Amino acid sequence: MTIYSGQVHVTRFKVLRPEAELKKPVPFATINEAAAEWKSVPLISFLEDAPRKGSANITVRETTTGWVAPDGVSAVREWRHGAEEAGQGPLNETGWDITIGAVNDGLLLRMRIDRRRVPAPLVAALYKQQLHGEEHGKGGRKKRLPRVERDALKQHVRNTLIGRALPTFAFVDAFWREAADELLIFTTSEPALKSFEELFARTFGGPLQVSLMRIQPPMTALPAGFWTNNKGAASDVDEWLATLTETIPASVGVAGLGESTGA
């Protein structure tokens, strides 16, 4: 997010919930419980764990995501309510809950993306050494390993190296207006958006019965009734569809647009 340079990149999502749940606010306790399992590993652990655990601390995934405390919440609260309401200084990486980001009519969320990379030549060199040891290990006679075992050995070497590599990391910020069923993610990067959608689904999809739908033109101007089964809003949707069809070139063809949208 590049606010200080005068640019803000935002992607808007609709948070879909079962109709029976729409009028029920989601309790903070439920949100906290759902997010607790998906917090990022504290950065300080890379200093504390590496010397002690060594190669036993293996993470086989190249890219991992998790929630971290949102940045700047204390400053916002101090500006609005005074220093007493700002909190106790910087947030501890472990002693926080996700609802610490409650601001105005929504919830600030911050995702951390950790990426681990290892050089391909290093993987290849160590794999050859391991393979030679496996094939010449018994009696000094070469016995060629089956393809499946060779592939498994190479993957093991790669996973071990990835587990020992320190990650590079990046942050993605978002603002979840829970009452309005709207989520704003402050990026337009497709990989970052995909990672955020996946983490959001893993965290809240089951416990809160929610899912995300990206709002893109021409859906940005959709009336509220489009997202509900409220028959009283059908006229607004029909009016929007009629206006939309007038902006689409005839060569595109819009026959049956109303039926295809479910309006």
| Separation CA 232–CA 42 (nearest Å) | 50
196-239 pLDDT, tens per residue?
A: 999 999 999 888 888 898 887 656 556 566 666 555 555 666 66
Nearest in space to 74 (alpha carbons), one of 92, 48, 56: 92
Is there a contact between 13 and 204 (Cβ–Cβ < 8 Å)? no
Of these ranges, 72-76, 187-191, 204-208, 216-220, the one predicted with the greatest mean pLDDT is 187-191
**Which residue did the predictor score with more confidence, 37 or 236?**
37
How far apart CA 51 and CA 241 sit, in angstroms, is: 62
Reference 59, options 38, 47, 41, 36; nearest CA is 41
Q: For the chain, what is the mean pLDDT?
A: 74
Rounded-to-integer distance, Cα 252 and Cα 261, Å: 16
Q: Tokens representing 255?
A: 């026959």
Residue matched to tokens 């995702």: 111
The stretch 48-65 carries a mean pLDDT of 60
Higher-confidence residue of 229 and 193: namely 193
| Residue in 179, 178, 236, 232 with CA at minimum distance from that of residue 204 | 178
82-96, 112-126, 176-190, 246-260: which range is least confident on average?
A: 246-260
For position 230, what pLDDT does the model report? Answer: 56
User: b/e string for 201-222 if b means 16 or more Cβ within 10 A?
Assistant: eebbeeebebebeebeeeeeeb
Residue 33 and residue 208 in contact, taking contact as beta carbons nearer than 8 Å: no
Average pLDDT over residues 46-64: 60
What is the tens place of the pLDDT at every residue in 102-131? 877 888 899 999 988 888 888 889 888 888
| Tens digits of residue pLDDT in 231-260 | 555 566 666 666 666 655 555 444 444 444
With pLDDT > 90 as the criterion, what percentage of the chain qualifies? 14
